[in-house]
């Protein structure tokens, strides 16, 4: 169920409030040459996690899609965006963060997607942009059950599978997670899904000086999660 349908609160009020800070904000020059001429979100990292959990609960209990003032929403966010969470997740067509987290509207989530939710160079650059330029206070790396990319990595580790084209290079990035959990109790693929999300969340912080600085200053949290295709539930794992 979308935010407006569930609460009756119009996003126009929220975005109008955000827009009112533009004149006071001026032109903010950030590191790496980025500039922002609109107010960053006032949502904290912990509040962002709470909003995602509450939205996912709505999705699990009463999933619904509606058009909640999308015309005005689109017009407002065309002037600038202030997403309160950055989500790195799989390109799987069954995993849509905007729906999974309760019908989140335009301008609220900064989403990065590729098969296997891998924090490669392009994704790291996108996350840094979301954190430093857009002011996102939360990064979530979210894997999901029955992930084909993770299954392929497990087949490489367990069966010596050979993969064609660029798929091999993509899956090679997930193989360390599969190796780390091979032989452990539980389902091999699902264990690898969780480990892959954990390792990529750690990689976001380890490989990005920008992210580390924001985390150090308590302006950002980086967490990882698993989405269950069967139940619709998101478990925040760390």
| Domains and their CATH numbers in the chain | 3-236 (3.40.1050.10)
- Identify the pLDDT of residue 38: 59
- Identify the pLDDT of residue 5: 53
Higher pLDDT, 70 or 231: 231
* Class of residue 184 by CB neighbours under 10 A (exposed 0-12, middle 13-18, buried 19+): exposed
Q: How far apart are CA 43 and CA 220, in angstroms?
A: 11
DSSP helix/strand/coil, 219: coil
Residue 190 neighbours by CB under 8 Å, 6+ apart: 145
Q: What's the whole-number average pLDDT of the chain?
A: 86
Residue 29, pLDDT above cutoff 70: no
Question: Any idea which of 72-81, 126-135, 180-189 has the lowest mean pLDDT?
Answer: 72-81
pLDDT tens, 217-231? Answer: 999 999 999 999 999
Q: What are phi and psi of 185, to 5 degrees?
A: -60, 150
- Identify the pLDDT of residue 104: 84
The model's pTM: 0.82
Residue 158, pLDDT above cutoff 70: yes
Residue 161, pLDDT above cutoff 90: yes
Residue 208, pLDDT above cutoff 80: yes
Residue 74, pLDDT above cutoff 70: yes
Higher pLDDT, 100 or 4: 100
- Identify the pLDDT of residue 63: 75
Residue 17, pLDDT above cutoff 50: no
Residue 8, pLDDT above cutoff 70: no
Residue 4, pLDDT above cutoff 60: no
Q: H helices within 160-221, ranges in order?
A: 165-172, 175-181, 188-207, 209-216
DSSP helix/strand/coil, 162: coil
42 pLDDT band, cuts 50/70/90, is confident
Residue 2, pLDDT above cutoff 60: no
């Amino acid at each position: 169920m979308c935010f407006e349908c569930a609460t009756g609160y119009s996003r126009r009020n929220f975005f109008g409030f955000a827009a009112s800070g533009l004149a006071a904000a001026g032109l903010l020059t950030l590191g790496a040459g980025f500039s922002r001429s609109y107010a960053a979100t006032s949502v904290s990292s912990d509040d962002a996690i709470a909003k995602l959990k509450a939205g996912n609960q709505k999705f699990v209990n009463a999933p619904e899609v509606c058009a909640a003032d999308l015309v005005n929403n689109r017009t407002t966010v065309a002037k600038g965006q202030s997403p309160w969470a950055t989500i790195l997740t799989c390109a799987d067509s069954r995993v849509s963060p905007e729906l999974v987290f309760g019908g989140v509207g335009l301008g609220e989530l900064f989403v990065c997607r590729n098969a296997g939710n891998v924090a490669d160079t392009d994704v790291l650059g996108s996350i840094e942009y979301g954190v430093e330029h857009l002011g996102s206070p939360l990064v979530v790396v979210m894997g999901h059950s029955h992930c084909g990319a993770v299954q392929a990595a497990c087949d490489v580790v367990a069966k010596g599978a050979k993969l064609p084209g660029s798929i091999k290079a993509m899956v090679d990035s997930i193989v360390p997670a599969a190796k780390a959990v091979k032989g452990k109790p539980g389902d091999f693929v699902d264990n690898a899904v969780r480990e892959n999300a954990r390792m990529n969340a750690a990689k976001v912080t380890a490989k990005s000086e920008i992210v580390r600085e924001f985390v150090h200053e308590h302006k950002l949290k980086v967490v990882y999660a698993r989405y269950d295709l069967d139940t619709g539930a998101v478990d925040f794992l760390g």
